[in-house]
Structure 1
Amino acid sequence: MQGKNILIIGFTKRTSFHFARVIGKSNTVIVSDSVKDKEKEKLLGELVKEGISVVNLLGEQSTGILDRFKIDIVVVSPGVPLNIPLIIEAKKRNIKVTGDIELFYNFFPGNFYIGITGTDGKTTTTTLIYEIVRKEKEAYIGGNIGIPIFKLFDEINEKSILVLELSSFQLEAIEKFKPYISVFLNLAEDHLDRYSSMKEYLLAKKRIFMNQTSKDFAVVNFDSPYYEEITEGIRPKILRFSRIDKKADAYFDGENIYISGKFFMKRKDIFIKGIHNVENSMAAILASKAAGISDESIIKTLIEFKGVEHRLEFVREINGVEFYNDSKSTTVNSLEKALLSFEKPLILIAGGRDKGLDFTKLRDLAAKKLKYLILIGEAKEKMKRELAFEKTFEASSLEEAVKKSYQLAEPGDVVLLSPGCTSFDMFSNYEERGKVFKDCVSELI
């Protein structure tokens, strides 16, 4: 690809910056974003210093851009909806509209790809599969996990295995991308501020299978209420994991994991907490075995793997009170899984920006599991109403919530940050929210 005018819609360091750095060496990059701020200006400045040909259209996202410039390709960042007027008009004019995953695949179509999607557990499972595979083969990790795929551009070769976390937003933009192994972990309410229905959300996720053939593999949660819809019409060989059906390719009986009906390993030997992480582990086992990795390497990694930051991450214990950071919890489903992971009395800190989710589903579980509930952020009134938990407190900041939780806690209690909401009302991302939580806990000492 040379001498083209590439329009990037949506510009951040975690997505399009690295793409622009690679593509801009031989093309002109036109950057459009609805937001114009110092951080984005700084990133563009870095590109200019590197000799990249850049046109700065920060703060502009009108269809007039297509009249002012002869655009050859439009590259959409994952967070940008495909129904904004600029993208709709580009499609009307038969301008190619794509995403970073698809373009990267066009450069490296012959590589071995493992793609992981689902509502919850993607980052943990992606990281786990990567850690397993890299024990025996050259592997790289990227995608929605926070490592932009184009950051890997100069590192990989034709033999590299790429383990990619894929969001529904990224899958919307694929055309030819084909993983050899796809993993669909689960499906629950999420992003209903973007999708008009669960069916539309499911269809976006299901695109991970669209180019696979009978020679490929699809690892799917057999216990999902959407299992039939997820697997209907797909071509790859299906590998099922389950906590219910012994006939599944991977089965957990409450104590042990079985693969193809044979004992594989004990649950107690897997380091990471939570029943959801048993499911993630079974998915990782099936994907890794399909990739040709030995049982020895798989089991060794599951014993050693300490989990991922901001996912049920143990922070510290202070005077008999344990603090856990689950800032990545941005859905009702992930909050439910977090609550089910503990037997000790729980003081839950939750809240943030709502995505149109229904928290009434957790009302009974909250009554059973919680000792106190502390709510923060824009969704606190809605969550207070829908959870209807008697011992609920509100806080104006995460700092205040942490201090309140410690005041309420007694030795043997667990303080859990598991928001069930996005972070964008108070923080730039869930990582910042998790870091602030850990800093606040440290200040209690």
Structure 2
Amino acid sequence: MKTLKQFSYTHVLVLGLAKSGTAAARLLLDSGVQVRVNDLKADPESSEVRALIEAGAEVITGGHPLSVLDGVDYLIKNPGIPYENPIVSEAVERGMPVVTEVELAGLLHEGPLVAVTGSNGKTTTTTLIHEMIKADEQKVALAGNIGHVSCEVARSTEADETMVTELSSFQLLGTEEFRPDIAVWLNLYEAHLDYHHTLHNYHEAKARITRNQTEADTLVYNADDERIQAFLSQTKAKLVPFSLKEKGKGAWVDDTHLYFEEEAVIELSEIVLVGEQNLQNILAAVACVKVNGIRNQAIIEVLRTFAGVPHRLQFVTKKENRLFYNDSKATNILATSYALKSFQQPVILLAGGLDRGNSFDSLLPYLGGVKAMIVFGETAELLMKTAEDAGIESVGKVDTMEEAVHEAYRQSEAEDVILLSPACASWDQYRTFEERGDMFIEAVHKL
């Protein structure tokens, strides 16, 4: 496996283990760097920690003493650790680079690098790009926030292999020199303000995906998103748009076909994925791979068969003519609004989760087709108020996902859609949105 060849730092602190921290520590140790690991909750007797110690790392658990910064010249932090953390803020104060493991991936990977970000649609778009390149029989690897640690994937990629990586704002904020050959910027919305504190900070973090790009690189961007348009003057990259509204440039659609520039790529009726959000994701993926030289036949093959990723408008089953959809990855209002726009039939919406301090007023325009709402989690009361403002007469508050599914089914009729699309993060009740979605699927099958 590859190691870092030109890394100018000798003493590195890895703050937070989990998958990304462990992978970063192993890479650095194999590259001859002195590594100190600090994790509050890690079990010092676990096989993971023992393996790092045996490989030469110093591991400090059970607390975050500022002394872990002594003698350190570089800090790699878990993306979820906020910058208000005393160790992180002290490192910044000392002028020390503070990065996420994505920075190491950028230093290590030698082949073409595609990076995808946006407030919504990242996983679907990243997966589509990967599948389209693979269908063209090109070497390609999948990495990033999609579940595969980027620096770990980059260790085994070849010089002629494309790495497609999904990046969150948390990961991008921890980049210094990271430079993708093709950056894909899907959309920009109000999200993660509990972490970034201001909309400006969040937008600036996202913009880092193109900050280091040059004239030799490409930025695929959403031409329908005015917030992204405001950042275009800051990039040196070649601009390739995608749009549901504008025609003739980049990737676009009319009533019958999807195009790239002047070339018809596929009839819309042949595309399996449903919904406006997914059509935007498809346009972004097509623009990216066409820039990358992928043949139309590979694109068509994927779009005729790709039915979506788990937890993103995932069809679960049909029972007594009720359709069940799992959209647990809808962790903000924009994602839920896109989900609601995907259905013409009446919807029973299951929503709620972590309270990030935002209101749900911007969801109101999309609740016209919602006949009932079942709410849960920290935001239950806020969502009940939103349902009342929307004129939804049937609203139920529950404690568990199984109760939510049973109550939704009780209130449903034939042809209704029962949709889990929470508009909130999952961390108040579940470890991940995947766990939340799996609980929904399990409850549905228990019916």
TM range (shorter): over 0.9
Tell me by how many angstroms 1:359 deviates. 1.1
Q: CA 1:181–1:348 in structure 2 vs 1: closer, same or farther (change >3 Å)?
A: same
CA contact (8 A) 2:14 2:36 kept: yes
Tell me by how many angstroms 1:10 deviates. 2.1
Deviates more, 1:415-424 or 1:172-181: 172-181
Offset from partner CA, 1:165-214 (integer Å, 9 cap, x none)? 01111111212111111100001110011223222211110111111111
Give me the whole-angstrom Cα distance separating, in 1, the residues matched to 2:379 and 2:37.
33
CA contact (8 A) 1:362 1:387 kept: no
What one-letter code is carried by the residue in structure 2 that aligns with 1:17? T
CA contact (8 A) 1:332 1:358 kept: no
Equivalent position SS for 1:123: helix
Partner of 2:222: 221
Partner of 2:323: 322
Give me the whole-angstrom Cα distance separating, in 2, the residues matched to 1:4 and 1:207.
26
Partner of 1:173: 174
Correspondence 1:47 to 2:67: no
Tell me by how many angstroms 1:372 deviates. 0.8
Give me the whole-angstrom Cα distance separating, in 2, the residues matched to 1:286 and 1:11.
36
TM-score normalised per structure 2: 0.93
Partner of 1:11: 17
Give me the whole-angstrom Cα distance separating, in 2, the residues matched to 1:59 and 1:375.
37
Partner of 1:421: 424
Alignment of 1:232-247 (within 5 A): 232-247=233-248
Correspondence 1:116 to 2:116: yes
Give me the whole-angstrom Cα distance separating, in 1, the residues matched to 2:340 and 2:220.
26
Equivalent position SS for 1:194: helix
Partner of 1:76: 77
Equivalent position SS for 2:418: strand
CA contact (8 A) 2:188 2:228 kept: no
Q: 1:432 aligns with which of 410, 431, 435?
A: 435
Offset from partner CA, 1:320-345 (integer Å, 9 cap, x none)? 11111111000100000000011121
- Aligned-pair Cα RMSD in Å: 1.9
Question: Number of residue pairs matched?
Answer: 436
Give me the whole-angstrom Cα distance separating, in 1, the residues matched to 2:357 and 2:231.
23
Q: CA 1:296–1:21 in structure 2 vs 1: closer, same or farther (change >3 Å)?
A: same
Tell me by how many angstroms 1:107 deviates. 2.3
CA contact (8 A) 2:17 2:42 kept: no
TM-score normalised per structure 1: 0.93
Tell me by how many angstroms 1:48 deviates. 4.2
Tell me by how many angstroms 1:153 deviates. 4.0
Q: List alignment gaps of at least 5 residues for structure 1.
A: none
Partner of 2:308: 307
What one-letter code is carried by the residue in structure 1 that aligns with 2:131? E
Alignment of 1:134-213 (within 5 A): 134-135=134-135, 136-213=137-214
What one-letter code is carried by the residue in structure 2 that aligns with 1:42? S
Alignment of 1:331-410 (within 5 A): 331-366=332-367, 368-388=368-388, 389-410=392-413
Q: CA 1:233–1:5 in structure 2 vs 1: closer, same or farther (change >3 Å)?
A: closer
Q: CA 1:41–1:20 in structure 2 vs 1: closer, same or farther (change >3 Å)?
A: farther
Alignment of 1:55-134 (within 5 A): 55-67=58-70, 70-108=71-109, 110-134=110-134
Offset from partner CA, 1:45-65 (integer Å, 9 cap, x none)? 36348x322333233223232
Give me the whole-angstrom Cα distance separating, in 2, the residues matched to 1:235 and 1:163.
21
* Percent identity of paired positions between Structure 1 and Structure 2: 34
Tell me by how many angstroms 1:88 deviates. 2.4
Give me the whole-angstrom Cα distance separating, in 1, the residues matched to 2:321 and 2:334.
29
Equivalent position SS for 2:214: coil
What one-letter code is carried by the residue in structure 1 that aligns with 2:434? E
Give me the whole-angstrom Cα distance separating, in 2, the residues matched to 1:422 and 1:47.
33
What one-letter code is carried by the residue in structure 2 that aligns with 1:401? A
Offset from partner CA, 1:397-432 (integer Å, 9 cap, x none)? 111101111111222111111011001011100111
Partner of 2:26: 21
Give me the whole-angstrom Cα distance separating, in 2, the residues matched to 1:149 and 1:203.
22
Correspondence 1:31 to 2:37: yes
Q: CA 1:43–1:217 in structure 2 vs 1: closer, same or farther (change >3 Å)?
A: farther
Tell me by how many angstroms 1:357 deviates. 3.0
Give me the whole-angstrom Cα distance separating, in 2, the residues matched to 1:27 and 1:239.
40
Give me the whole-angstrom Cα distance separating, in 1, the residues matched to 2:45 and 2:361.
43
CA contact (8 A) 2:375 2:384 kept: yes
Equivalent position SS for 1:355: coil
Give me the whole-angstrom Cα distance separating, in 2, the residues matched to 1:180 and 1:153.
15
What one-letter code is carried by the residue in structure 2 that aligns with 1:119? S
Tell me by how many angstroms 1:9 deviates. 1.3
Deviates more, 1:222-231 or 1:423-432: 222-231
Give me the whole-angstrom Cα distance separating, in 1, the residues matched to 2:84 and 2:166.
24
CA contact (8 A) 1:120 1:334 kept: yes
Tell me by how many angstroms 1:364 deviates. 3.1
What one-letter code is carried by the residue in structure 2 that aligns with 1:29? V
CA contact (8 A) 1:27 1:53 kept: no
